[in-house]
Chain A
Amino acid sequence: MRAADLVTALALIVLGVVVLVDALRLGIGWGMEGPQSGFFPFWLAILLVAIAGLILLQASRRATTAPFVTAARFRPVLAVLAPATAMVLVMEGLGLYVASALYLAFYMRWVGRHAWPTIVALGLGVPIVTFVIFERWFLVPMPKGPLEAWLGF
């Protein structure tokens, strides 16, 4: 926990400094339209660096040995995160419907060990329902890929 707290606080300080630099570039004083663009971010960043610094101090003094997360408990987290990231990657090329079908099928088989009929039914059903609701009823387009193009959408 302590290490994670320290790393997070450090990351926040770095972010604060980055914002600070950009705010200085934009100008933090008085311009044509009153306070310049960098004025508000500048003070936000100053406060962020100061407070994250205090958290850093607080955390460094705290002696807890509990780990942020144990390997055994982190495995299911990765098992959700990795396929989800893969789905978004596939989405870039093949569109949302194909990506979500593959993702649902993969997760249900790999984690849940569900039977194939369930997997096929849900893997096809969920994207089709999504398609009807979004593209047809509410006219909100989702990213589409070659399959949809081939089907004529």
Chain B
Amino acid sequence: MGFENLLLGFSIAVTPFNLFVALLGILLGTIIGVLPGLGGANGVAILLPLTFTMPPTSAIILLTSLYWGALFGGAITSILFNIPGEPWSVATTFDGYPMARRGQGGQALTAAFTSSFVGALFSIVLITLFAPVLAEIALKFGPPEFFAIQLLTFSSFVGLGGGNPLKSLVSILLGFILASVGLDIVTGQLRMTFGVTELMKGFDFIVAVIGLFGIGEILLSVEEGLSFKGARTGMNLKVVLETWKILPRYWRTFVRGAFIGFWMGFKPGGATPASFMSYAFAKRFSPRGEHFGKGELEGVVAPETAAHAAGVAAILPMITLGIPGSPTAAVMLGGLIIWGLQPGPMLFQEQPEFVWGLIASMYTGNVLGVLMVLAFVPLFAAILRIPFAILTPLIVVVCAVGSYAVHNSMIDVWYMLIFGVIGYVFKKLDYPLAPLVLALVLGDLAENALRQSLIMSQGSLGIFFVRPISGVIVAIALLFFLLPLLTPWWRRRRGVPRVASAAPRH
């Protein structure tokens, strides 16, 4: 049954219009991935208003393609400019940039793109196989199970996210509080508006994403005084083919990276730790491990495979459970709601064209993507040679346009500026932004799931524990929440000295 559905998907994804949309998305996405201050989440947020008039399937293809492009684009800046465009490409700079300095930029880029492609493909195949099964299971879920999964989503930020767990919690709470501002659809009451008409509409997550990630990132990068000293690309067909001859040697690294990426990626906030973990494993198991960090091809393969596998895997919980695995997937989920689709397991039954069109477009999008970036690397790299005094105002204008377009309202443009300042301060103080955005997107859904569960149980929280599926999930979630408290205790007991956390900070 799965195969027929996939064929149906391809019949939708391979129409000329949808292929064009995919190409456009990859092109824009790669540009966005290369530009500082614009990343996947915020590129998708800015473009979202443009998709309101498109058919939903084409719209999601545009946005997912943009996401693939941004994933590829991140590798370009990491390798050539030593600037990770996205947090998950930090590990790519370790060996990618030294290679580029040595004049092997072409090899490093080819390896990065190929690894990204392999990682993505691995995740897409797994999604094709498992998404329908997972959706089938999720159909039996009631409000308590959905609330339990939400809890699990947020607990993994606290328990596995690295950084200060208290600050992760604050980000989550703040996101939920912002989400509850405005009209309460259940009772019809106004919440936290204090008589201010502008607050009645609440805060839109798209504006928050553009402000927090876009403006905030710009402020941070001008403070750090970014200067782009790029290495030459050194990319041509000969280099590509020669690199492809070497790459199969690292098949173990590919397989390991892909598994780590998928496993980490379908839980929230997974791509960055996945890339670091894959890098660490490759360093440990490679016979040339001690050369890592000096420009080892395998050191580019490992993080890129995992990051891209994780990035793709983040789509799985979004389409099957209605719970996004990353901020970018969260914005797409918001898009689904705006296009009039109900995210979650019912999609597979009610909108098979949409779901399978999306899954098939993930294959076509990534094939187009890898070919395009391989062919046009020098062009994309040239973007960073645009003077900073032109790029900065340009990005600010694009952000303002995107924020206004969401609701055609000026107040959103002001919110964008305010969120920009909050993003700048939070990033400097190590408050993670991704959980805030996820909470803002999921706020209403989570609250409704909680309310409905409590109505079912007439007010008893016990309902989350007595139902078997939600009981198990809630137990795991609680474990994750307590993990930051348990880990030091566990280390003391085993007599392991406290080592500096290897968790990535950004």
Contact = CB atoms under 8 A, between A and B. Distances in A.
Interface of A: 1, 4-5, 8, 12, 15, 18-19, 22-23, 26, 30-41, 44-45, 47-48, 51-52, 54-55, 58, 68-69, 73-74, 76-77, 79-81, 83-85, 87-88, 91-92, 96, 100, 103-104, 107-108, 111-114, 118, 122, 126, 130, 134, 138-143
A80 B396 contact: yes
Contacts of A80: 218-219, 222, 392, 396
A73 B177 contact: no
Interface in B401-452: 401, 404-405, 408, 410, 413-414, 417, 420-421, 424-426, 428-429, 431, 447, 450-452
Nearest to A54: B166
A111 B396 CA distance: 15
Contacts of B4: none
Contact of A44 (B173, B187, B400, B428): B173
B194 A22 contact: yes
A33 B405 CA distance: 35
Contacts of B496: none
B390 A30 contact: no
A48 B177 contact: yes
Contact of B170 (A26, A37, A48, A113): A48
B173 to A, nearest CB: 4
B170 A55 contact: yes
A134 B401 contact: yes
Nearest to B180: A41
Nearest to B405: A140
10 contacts: A19-B177, A35-B455, A35-B459, A37-B187, A41-B191, A48-B173, A69-B428, A77-B223, A108-B390, A143-B410
Contact of B401 (A12, A18, A142): A142
A126 B169 contact: no
A94 B424 CA distance: 29
A88 to B, nearest CB: 5
Given A40-B180, A41-B192, 12 more contacts: A8-B426, A8-B429, A19-B192, A34-B451, A51-B173, A79-B222, A84-B396, A88-B414, A107-B389, A118-B390, A134-B405, A140-B49
Contact of B169 (A19, A41, A47): A47
B71 interface: no
B445 to A, nearest CB: 12
Nearest to B426: A8
B186 interface: yes
Nearest to A4: B429
B215 interface: yes
6 A-B pairs with least C-beta separation: A112-B389, A34-B455, A107-B393, A76-B222, A37-B189, A48-B173
A34 B176 CA distance: 20
B125 interface: no
A103 B396 contact: yes
Contacts of A35: 450-451, 454-455, 459
B486 interface: no
B424 A77 contact: yes
Contact of B167 (A36, A37, A55): A55
Interface string B182-223: 001011010110100000000000000000000100110011
A52 B170 contact: yes
B225 A73 contact: yes
